[in-house]
A and B are shown apart, each in its own frame.
Chain A
């Protein structure tokens, strides 16, 4: 009876990243600074733009020519939309699944400094490490103080809509069998030891992905006596994925980025 029921609605699985998916493209990423912002725009009534952000993601930087420019650290963005609502001329939403970066500073927009050499070096290093697990990867997840939503989004990868199994991505219970460690949460101090032990138990090569703004920077939970302000303080992170929480397509993108399996088309906008 269940077998027939399983056939009832045909194939509902996305073909992303081989084919585009409208829901992947429509996904809302962290806030971003709109293109035509060469100089730091004046705030309303002298209110600095920094004050718009509850997590302090907005800052500015003085350039060589003496002008100040706006910087937004997407690793701190909790997607509250305050900045987008208050200054739609300066801030907007980034779209699509490509939210992850291979190094922490890569989440700051606009890019602080153009360092294609460093990016290439990081990618090559990661590619060399992950060459052996390209077609079949096993994931282990550790919750280090999440709000519960990141777990739902990771689990969603294994529902029939995303079906990560089709890409050779599997969950495993034992860290001894795991290639990739997905860490969620703000880095709760109570979870530091269990997280470290899980990481140590994994065989090389191993990759760590910080899933969600909380895992990247601590988000709204940081600073606090109870969290470390991101999981980077506990384990070495290879891929940084902001989002509060990041939607399943973004997590899938980060996984494929980690193992160097993004096709050219899907990797548009990944150059960071």
Chain B
């Protein structure tokens, strides 16, 4: 593989110099946005059947900045069984390197906790699906007895919470270690619902890949489809027509409003505010219905296609504008009431704080980062589609980093979204001329695409050969942010748990893929 396929990509056989480069870039202001492996790629070497990875392994680190997302890469030889870990130098790589170990069977030397992150397998069997390499692995057989327990000390016990939990929620297991009320430590087993989607991408056509991208994290369907298509359009050099760029923003912002209303609903439910829960549930339903009136699907599926959008909204511009206006009025009124309910605010204030230094260090994404004074909103810093031409209203700065500020950030974003939606509806009312879709034929190449989902920035690293996907790595904001949950329980007790979990607003599907 050559390094010129990507702007700024560098390839080296040695890990340490590349890690120097990565930590140097982070020190000078770039954000560490992920690390993932790809089997194969050490071109030239003859395939060997006796190693786990007959064609070697390439580790790719993503670095986000104002100029886009660049990649620094390490190519490990086929014989390598370990490499010097990045985590001791850059804590944000913690989960990424454990995942690489599980997916490829290579050991990050010096990692503080090199245990399986994906499902533990019975002894003698390894998972190692090795995305990027031809052929699929055998079906996995998770070992149900292999539960990590780290309870030490008198009176401490573990409350296993999940994977089947009360309510209608996605599967995840929290192991709350507690002496009774405080939560000194929290463990998570996240990958119960791992679907192996990275292997599923392989061999798909570019057009079918967008269907799978929409289902990686269903509640952020539009953002994932956008990030995927942006990668594809970057390879082919396609410019998206103006009308399509507007429709994309329309659906991306409706999705954001729906997700934030969902978080508000869960927080209100946690506090036992029945009417508030019902009101925000109703508003959310109205948004989903508006989306289905516009495109036929309640989650905006099928809207985003490579090179543009499938069609103009099925709903008239005047209707759209009127409904957006009604929604904004009703939501704003209920937000005012909610944020004036003292008993509710008491539950949120100083709950689950994330210190600003930690948010910056980790590169916390979306509302979680913004509430701790760290914003790297892709719509603002790496704008795409119609965002460069539309005004993104600047919200008030927040830095308390608690559940309350995370909710305030969400309301700020909902305000921004309505502002954008009104502009888009106005533009659409003028009946933008021109095509909805530009040619986007890709036979081969590689690029990184990004989009700001309601949870934070989504990144797709996409590689094609002969018109087929050879590697597609979706990195949802949920994956990057969820690891922070370990740190949010300073002084908080068991009854704060639902608030802290809801305030992150993450989707497990996006984490486990």
State the A residues within 8 Å of B (CB): 1-3, 5-6, 9, 12, 23, 27-28, 54, 78-81, 141-156, 158-161, 171, 173, 175, 185-186, 188-195, 198, 214, 219-221, 224-227, 244-245, 247
Contact = CB atoms under 8 A, between A and B. Distances in A.
Nearest to B165: A173
B281 A156 contact: yes
Interface in B183-234: 191-197, 199-200, 204, 208, 211-212, 215-219, 221
B167 interface: yes
Nearest to B280: A159
A15 to B, nearest CB: 16
A161 B170 contact: no
A148 B217 contact: yes
A193 B144 contact: yes
B443 interface: no
Interface string B490-509: 00000000000000000111
Contacts of A198: 164
A264 to B, nearest CB: 27
B166 interface: yes
A225 B139 contact: yes
A43 B289 CA distance: 36
A2 B138 contact: no
B168 interface: yes
Nearest to B199: A224
14 contacts: A2-B274, A5-B275, A6-B279, A78-B211, A142-B171, A145-B193, A146-B170, A148-B218, A154-B168, A160-B281, A175-B164, A191-B193, A225-B139, A227-B195
A186 B195 contact: yes
A90 to B, nearest CB: 19
B196 A2 contact: no
A247 B298 contact: yes
B103 to A, nearest CB: 11
A78 B199 CA distance: 19
B337 interface: yes
Interface string B343-374: 00000000000000000000000000000000
Contact of B136 (A158, A225, A245): A225
A190 B191 contact: yes
Interface string B120-152: 000000000100000011111110100000000
A159 B169 CA distance: 15
Nearest to A153: B298
Contacts of A12: 282
A191 B142 CA distance: 9
A6 B282 CA distance: 11
Nearest to B311: A85
